[in-house]
Chain A
């Protein structure tokens, strides 16, 4: 038997049908390795997340844009020693002090005025007197009465507080 004949016979070689069936069943009976694939996927997700987080962290470190500048990992901000910013903040405090002083003065004045009104109770008497004076002067000279009327109109347009109005109406 020469070599060619041997090769021709090998072309027609077939596995044993029983062995083929048993091998096929054995292969199909093997369960797929799903858990292994799940863990690989989980690790991949974790790796991606860690990479993104690290990237964001380094970007924040480089730009100094942490959400909370008092965070222990926040970078040092040298802008805090800028004299202009310091001066602006100090001026804001000074303005607020002035507002508080005005409020204090107003409350002291209001308390004083209220006490004075309560003590005298006659805040409109000078006005009545000036009206009477203007009346008598007006009969003597119309020009004088004109100026007196103007003066009285100026005096009478002086605003008064609600308490002063009530004081006047209480008597």
Chain B
């Protein structure tokens, strides 16, 4: 459906440019910056604006009037898209189960997303009485605000969700270490094995390191550090955890050579 509308719109714009008729620009269907359900603006939405600006047959007054109306419409729809994005992110964030300190950070980020929606609504309200330069100023303000505030907030929210989804992996690994420790102790009661003990200690140290990285990532999230910084820490903790599993694998192999029947 979207494709059909886009083709129709592009065809209208093309016909308008080809025939040089102002009437086509006026009767062209309104551009949908929301781009349908997924709320994605497309280049086609702005082609009509270019068509008005490059149409030599329009009088200055016609061009001004059409351009202002279209700019208001496109900016309004773009802001609606931004609101939709922020609300979808907030919904995703609030839908992630978190406890303790993480829940506190979750609540703080959610409140900031509320602030973002309020900001967009305030800026939308400015469009009613704005001229062309006014709409340009609103677009510039929102663009600058997004770069300074929303982009880091979006990164923080996404990273917090990612970090939260990692926690069961760390808990599973810790449980594995505990259980494997029991097996190692059982074997050690029968006969001392230095290689087994060393392998277990290596896995234990690796998991501890991964846990420290995980804690550092959360500290970065708590302090609202730059998203790339917290994301880098999250990735590092996961890489270390993957290394821990390599050590678990080595340890498992060793245990199975000592307890061939137990691993069957």
Interface, chain A (partner B; CB < 8 A): 69-70, 74, 76-78, 80-83, 86, 89-90, 92-94, 96-97, 99-101, 103-104, 107-108, 110-111, 114, 124, 127-128, 131-132, 134-135, 138-139, 145, 149, 152-153, 155-171
In contact, B78 and A162 (Cβ under 8 angstroms) = yes
Interface, chain B (partner A; CB < 8 A): 2-3, 6-7, 9-11, 13-14, 17-18, 33, 35, 40-47, 49-51, 54, 71, 74-75, 78, 81-82, 85, 135-136, 139-140, 142-143, 146-147, 151, 155, 158-159, 162, 165-166, 169, 172-173, 175-176, 178-180, 182-183, 186, 227-228, 231-232, 234-235, 238-239, 241-242, 245-246, 248-249, 252, 255-256, 259, 262-263
Nearest 6 pairs of A and B residues by beta carbon: A156-B44, A153-B10, A80-B179, A170-B139, A169-B139, A90-B245
In contact, A86 and B249 (Cβ under 8 angstroms) = yes
Task: Report the nearest B residue to A125, measured CB to CB.
Answer: B50
Q: Of A70, A81, A89, A171, which one neighbours B178 at CB under 8 angstroms?
A: A70
Expressed in whole angstroms, the Cα–Cα distance for A104 and B259 within the complex equals 43
In contact, B43 and A127 (Cβ under 8 angstroms) = yes
Residues on the A chain within 8 Å of B71, using CB: 169
Expressed in whole angstroms, the Cα–Cα distance for A101 and B232 within the complex equals 9
In contact, B18 and A93 (Cβ under 8 angstroms) = no
Residues on the A chain within 8 Å of B139, using CB: 166-167, 169-170
In contact, B6 and A157 (Cβ under 8 angstroms) = yes
In contact, A104 and B74 (Cβ under 8 angstroms) = no
Expressed in whole angstroms, the Cα–Cα distance for A156 and B256 within the complex equals 61
Known: A78-B262, A128-B54. A170 touches B179 (CB 8 A): no
Q: Of B7, B136, B155, B245, which one neighbours A153 at CB under 8 angstroms?
A: B7
Q: Of B44, B146, B241, which one neighbours A162 at CB under 8 angstroms?
A: B146
